[in-house]
Amino acid sequence: MSKFDEIIERRGSHCGKYDGLGLLYGNPDLLPMWVADMDFYPPKEVVEAIEKRAHHGVFGYSLFGSFYREAPVKWHQQQNDITYKEDSIFFTSSILKGLNLAVIAFTEEGDNVLLSMPSYGPFVHVTTGAKRNWIGTHLIMNGSQVEFDFDDFETKIIENDIKLYVLCNPHNPTGRVWSEDEIEKMMLICQKYNVLMVSDEVHSDLIMPGHTFVPAMKVARKIGFDQSLCVLIAPTKTFNLAGIQVAYYIVENEFLLGKIKEAEAYTHSSDLLNNFSCLAMEAAYKHGAPYVKELTEYVYGNYQYMRSEIERECPQVVITDLQATYLVWLNVDYLKVTEDEMRESLVAHGLALETSKDFFENDKRYMRVNIACPRATVEKGTQIIIDCLKDLEK
């Protein structure tokens, strides 16, 4: 039995995934497989570090120093064979806050920002919230495979005078791991038209067996694009620390860094982490490698189970090949129902999922399923999906 098989009661802990069901889905008793956090404990060393700090009992301003940068530097050396300089790492509260700063820093109001579609919804909200326009370049869904449309990518850059491209690496919601060749080709096109790039790598530790993550900065250094790149990373997805609020951005261009610092001042932002976030990050990166290995193997087992069951019972569903993340992307466009009818049916069957419109995918019907939960939960959720699909097929 795996430690990830344990059922943890999360209701009543003020967590959005469970305690927000009534507000968001109209039913507090649904099985939640929607928002991207995990129903697992983090590594015990993380919990111990937080408990030790909490036991002290005084929570004044944190002392922040370069010593907290040592943990991410060593982590990425060990996990991804890349060395970041400590003085190029800067902290913020979340990936989205980091993206907000980058959008404000690297573009002007009214500029166009390019996103790969389907897109993690908040990327759109961050862009429009900063009074910039978002332009979508669609990925190609070729059966269970996801392909990058380089022709459309370049065309959208030319036609819309794109200033910034936001790469999701690996991609959410499709779970695609981009290859070195693909990332290089993206960068060469951006380089050709003087387009800056932000690479969101929050899912970069959650790589499924048989696949390898390629850091954008590693490719950028090889082709001289490193001065046009900002990388966003956080330990929050990997170790289930979203509520702790810790992330960081990596910039190796002094001019771009200066622009971000101007944006921080303009938005009254700070790189000061709270009493718990810095310690949680440090403990996770120091002790978390075995945890990640066991976690990814467990999640992939969940994926294999879900895929085999749905393929057997509902063969018309196209299940995207899961290469990274713990999010399964289901193409259910064969259903002759509207988006709202599909969502209502899921809720009626007892399941909370995110679907096409949450990712600004308006042309086809998709479901995104969070499988970072015990196998028993995955089994129950899979059966609900099958029952729902069969009812919608009638």
What does the pLDDT read at residue 246? 94
How buried is 380 (Cβ within 10 angstroms: 0-12 exposed, 13-18 middle, 19+ buried)?
middle
What percent of the chain shows pLDDT beyond 90? Answer: 93
Q: What is the DSSP letter of 84?
A: -
- Average pLDDT score over residue span 85-112: 96
- The packing angle between helices 44-56 and 277-287, to 10°, is 150
Q: Which domains does the chain have, with CATH numbers?
A: 3-43+289-393 (3.90.1150.10), 48-287 (3.40.640.10)
What tens digit of pLDDT does each residue of 258-311 get? 999 999 888 888 778 888 999 999 999 999 999 999 999 999 999 999 999 999
| More reliable by pLDDT, 374 or 269 | 374
pLDDT of 196 over the 90 cut: yes
What does the pLDDT read at residue 64? 65
How buried is 106 (Cβ within 10 angstroms: 0-12 exposed, 13-18 middle, 19+ buried)?
buried
pLDDT of 83 over the 70 cut: yes
What tens digit of pLDDT does each residue of 29-75 get? 999 999 999 999 999 999 999 999 999 999 998 876 667 899 999 99
What does the pLDDT read at residue 175? 98
- Average pLDDT score over residue span 140-167: 97
Q: What is the DSSP letter of 205?
A: T
| 390 contacts: CB under 8 Å, gap ≥ 6 | 313, 314
- Average pLDDT score over residue span 190-204: 98
pLDDT of 349 over the 80 cut: yes
Q: What is the DSSP letter of 268?
A: T
CB 191 within 8 A of CB 225: yes
CB 170 within 8 A of CB 212: no
What does the pLDDT read at residue 62? 81
What's the angle, vertex CA 346, arms to CA 134 and CA 349, rounded to 5? 165
> Which residue bears the tokens 């995934």?
17
What tens digit of pLDDT does each residue of 236-257 get? 999 999 999 999 999 999 999 9
What does the pLDDT read at residue 66? 67
Long-range contacts, stretch 213-217, CB < 8 angstroms, 24+ apart: 213/80, 213/170, 213/177, 213/324, 214/169, 214/177, 214/178, 214/179, 214/180, 214/183, 215/76, 215/80, 215/82, 216/167, 216/169, 216/183, 216/187, 217/82, 217/84, 217/250, 217/252
